[in-house]
Chains A and B, each alone.
Chain A
Amino acid sequence: MKKYTYTEKKDTRSGFGAGLSELGKTNPNVVALCADLTGSLKMDAFQKDHPERFFQIGIAEANMMGIAAGLTIGGKIPFTGTFANFSTGRVYDQIRQSIAYSDKNVKIAASHAGLTLGEDGATHQILEDIGLMKMLPNMVVINPCDYNQTKAATLAVAKHHGPVYLRFGRPSVPNFTDANQNFEIGKAVVLNEGSDITIIATGHLVWKAIEAAEKLSEKGISVDLINIHTIKPLDNEAILKSVARTKCVVTAEEHQRNGGLGDSVAQLLSQHLPTPQEFVAVNDSFGESGTPDQLMTKYKLDTINIIEAAEKVIKRK
């Protein structure tokens, strides 16, 4: 098992803030909109450096999506910023009609996704956003795993023409990917090559999948470990290549099982390479208040759950 280390834990939202700030300096067409969560989204630096290109919308997310769509008509590249819940479910029709169907070059930056938002509880812990967004034709869906990757993703989506949903979160997680990585939309990152099982993880679950793979390796199980930062378009080739070798798969994500990464992988495999699969995901349930760690444990999104799923699926081969 390849060894992964990190020097510090950082929040992915700060990776977005750093990326946006850099875009502000390098791309004059980049503009930012925020619905009263500038600090939470780490958009402060952009706001301070480029006040003329920063639009404080107030608590009016539907209006924000429409204004972003309109700004693209004048050649701007708008990044909207609010929590993942208010970036998707609350404004689904605005995104569907004014952005996705209208082919508008809007980047929907969504923070505080999933259970790890923590104490605010289920009203704010959206676990359906990947599903909502991936169902929309034209929409690219990205869920990077750490600070460095979120920053790289932010820079990359500005160069991609078309609507993008960029999902990240609140808690500090190990920052282990390369600071100067080349982020390629739609390209899986193979973290370890193995032969007994494929583990495919996204977002905050990637580090937990690394921990799980290390433990499995100690037990003599060789893990092919893939970080899927782009859920749509999915890197079909990388997944099929891996699963053809290992013949079983575990998917791991901080999202509902319905509509998430696991669903996308299952759909791919059922068509091209039917394979036993186990899902580490929230199982048709809302979240609740608690610390991020407590919630990840209670809702079975922890390292141990990935290990158990792996051992179970290997037996199903």
Chain B
Amino acid sequence: MQTTNDLKQLCTQVRRDILRMVHAVSSGHPGGSLGCVEYLVALYNGVMNHNAQNFAMDGKNEDLFFLSNGHISPVFYSVLARSGYFEINELATFRKLNSRLQGHPTTHEGLPGVRIASGSLGQGLSVAIGAALAKKLNNDKGIIYTLHGDGELQEGQIWEAAMYASANKVDNLIATVDYNGRQIDGDVENVLSLGNLKLKFEAFGFTVIENHEGNSIEKVIEYFNLAKQQLGRGKPVIILMKTEMGQGVDFMMGTHKWHGSAPNDEQLQKALAQLPVTLGDY
């Protein structure tokens, strides 16, 4: 059993992985990745019941995770590797030719831990609902988790899926919104305001849980536990999780500019200096 301190060490190492991965290929999405570190580290280290050593697509009797905002693949890959899905050295192949670690996650290259391709936004909630329905048909008690960007909620398919989930009582699913308030062109509020997201999801029939501290590992775990208690009650569950894009690197925080830009050599060193090695670089 990992202590909270262990998880914090892991978070720091994952942040180093993210920065080194995107720096190595001068591309990728560090901002959202850095903001979702605590979420994914918690999910794969205690929250989910999953089998990293023997990955099976059907994940029978396991909890399953779907990353809908596929562009934050660096954090997903780092956490998968450091949870035992594949060798951490493979992180060095990110976005390179012939790699299983494509720019956006895919099942097509056979990377353990990935169950759906994502990248084109707005599709993950529907897929997750399908997986949740299959769990119910199979009398499988596994829980389905999904993560979505807040900008992603501008896609209409999300709301088709939300309508379906509540109308059909998909109550073995915990969706989470990475509510960092930023997207490529700027602040979500200015690009296309989401309005009152809590009221919107409530109106769509969800149980809405707000976590205002999505970069606190303790809070992330606490709200996952709260969400789990809401399962099986005839309503889908969603966590609105406030995070900071670029969390952990001072010059990447408070702006949308690091959504899809990689640091140069100098910026990388400046960033890594704020995140000491904990478990060893890949």
Task: Name A residues whose Cβ lies closer than 8 Å to a Cβ of B.
Answer: 31, 52-53, 55, 57-58, 60, 62-76, 78, 93-94, 96-98, 101-104
Tell me whether B164 and A70 are in contact (CB under 8 A). Answer: no
User: With A66-B125, A66-B157 given, is the CB distance from A98 to B131 under 8 Å?
Assistant: no
Interface 0/1 of B156-176, CB less than 8 Å to A: 110011011001100000000
Further contacts, 8 of them, CB under 8 A, given A70-B127, A98-B116, A102-B117: A69-B116, A69-B127, A69-B130, A73-B134, A75-B58, A102-B106, A102-B107, A103-B107
B106 CB, min distance to chain A CBs, angstroms: 6
Tell me whether A67 and B108 are in contact (CB under 8 A). Answer: no
- Measured between beta carbons, the chain B residues less than 8 angstroms from A58 are 160, 163-164, 167
User: CA separation between A76 and B58, bound complex, in Å?
Assistant: 10
A137 CB, min distance to chain B CBs, angstroms: 9
- Measured between beta carbons, the chain A residues less than 8 angstroms from B160 are 58, 60, 62-63
Closest residue of B by beta carbon distance from A66: B126
- Measured between beta carbons, the chain B residues less than 8 angstroms from A74 are 58, 130-131, 133-135, 137-138, 140
User: CA separation between A270 and B162, bound complex, in Å?
Assistant: 49
- Measured between beta carbons, the chain B residues less than 8 angstroms from A53 are 137
Task: Name B residues whose Cβ lies closer than 8 Å to a Cβ of A.
Answer: 57-59, 64, 66, 106-108, 115-120, 122-135, 137-138, 140, 156-157, 160-161, 163-164, 167-168
User: CA separation between A55 and B161, bound complex, in Å?
Assistant: 13
Tell me whether B161 and A66 are in contact (CB under 8 A). Answer: yes
B35 CB, min distance to chain A CBs, angstroms: 24
Tell me whether A60 and B140 are in contact (CB under 8 A). Answer: no
Tell me whether B126 and A63 are in contact (CB under 8 A). Answer: yes
User: CA separation between A78 and B129, bound complex, in Å?
Assistant: 14
B144 CB, min distance to chain A CBs, angstroms: 8
User: CA separation between A63 and B132, bound complex, in Å?
Assistant: 14
Closest residue of B by beta carbon distance from A55: B133
Tell me whether A93 and B120 are in contact (CB under 8 A). Answer: yes
Tell me whether B123 and A97 are in contact (CB under 8 A). Answer: yes
- Measured between beta carbons, the chain A residues less than 8 angstroms from B168 are 55
Tell me whether A67 and B58 are in contact (CB under 8 A). Answer: no
User: CA separation between A272 and B123, bound complex, in Å?
Assistant: 41
Tell me whether B164 and A60 are in contact (CB under 8 A). Answer: yes
Tell me whether A73 and B123 are in contact (CB under 8 A). Answer: no
- Measured between beta carbons, the chain B residues less than 8 angstroms from A68 are 130
User: CA separation between A57 and B126, bound complex, in Å?
Assistant: 11
- Measured between beta carbons, the chain A residues less than 8 angstroms from B126 are 62-67, 69-70, 94, 98
Closest residue of A by beta carbon distance from B116: A102
Closest residue of B by beta carbon distance from A96: B120
Closest residue of B by beta carbon distance from A62: B157
Task: Select the residue from B66, B130, B167 with max chain A CB neighbours within 10 A.
Answer: B130
A244 CB, min distance to chain B CBs, angstroms: 37
User: CA separation between A310 and B128, bound complex, in Å?
Assistant: 52
Closest residue of B by beta carbon distance from A33: B130
- Measured between beta carbons, the chain A residues less than 8 angstroms from B124 are 66
User: CA separation between A60 and B123, bound complex, in Å?
Assistant: 12
- Measured between beta carbons, the chain B residues less than 8 angstroms from A57 are 164
B131 CB, min distance to chain A CBs, angstroms: 4
- Measured between beta carbons, the chain A residues less than 8 angstroms from B131 are 70-71, 73-74
Tell me whether B132 and A70 are in contact (CB under 8 A). Answer: yes
Closest residue of B by beta carbon distance from A75: B58
Closest residue of A by beta carbon distance from B128: A70
Tell me whether A60 and B132 are in contact (CB under 8 A). Answer: no
Task: Select the residue from A62, A66, A101, A103 with max chain B CB neighbours within 10 A.
Answer: A66
User: With A67-B129, A68-B130 given, is the CB distance from A73 to B115 under 8 Å?
Assistant: yes
B85 CB, min distance to chain A CBs, angstroms: 16
- Measured between beta carbons, the chain A residues less than 8 angstroms from B58 are 73-75
User: CA separation between A96 and B140, bound complex, in Å?
Assistant: 29
- Measured between beta carbons, the chain B residues less than 8 angstroms from A63 are 126, 129, 157, 160-161, 164
User: CA separation between A104 and B140, bound complex, in Å?
Assistant: 20
B126 CB, min distance to chain A CBs, angstroms: 2
10 A-B pairs with least C-beta separation: A70-B130, A74-B134, A66-B126, A60-B160, A63-B160, A67-B130, A70-B131, A70-B127, A71-B130, A62-B157
Select A66's contact among B119, B123, B137, beta carbons within 8 Å. B123
User: CA separation between A196 and B107, bound complex, in Å?
Assistant: 49
Tell me whether B120 and A97 are in contact (CB under 8 A). Answer: yes
- Measured between beta carbons, the chain A residues less than 8 angstroms from B119 are 97
Tell me whether B127 and A67 are in contact (CB under 8 A). Answer: yes
Tell me whether A76 and B137 are in contact (CB under 8 A). Answer: yes
A55 CB, min distance to chain B CBs, angstroms: 7
User: CA separation between A73 and B129, bound complex, in Å?
Assistant: 11
User: CA separation between A70 and B64, bound complex, in Å?
Assistant: 11
Closest residue of B by beta carbon distance from A78: B130
Tell me whether B106 and A76 are in contact (CB under 8 A). Answer: no
Closest residue of B by beta carbon distance from A71: B130
- Measured between beta carbons, the chain B residues less than 8 angstroms from A31 are 137
- Measured between beta carbons, the chain B residues less than 8 angstroms from A55 are 133, 168
Some 13 contacts from A to B, beta carbons below 8 A apart, are A52-B137, A55-B168, A62-B123, A63-B129, A67-B130, A68-B130, A73-B131, A74-B131, A75-B134, A97-B117, A97-B123, A98-B117, A101-B106
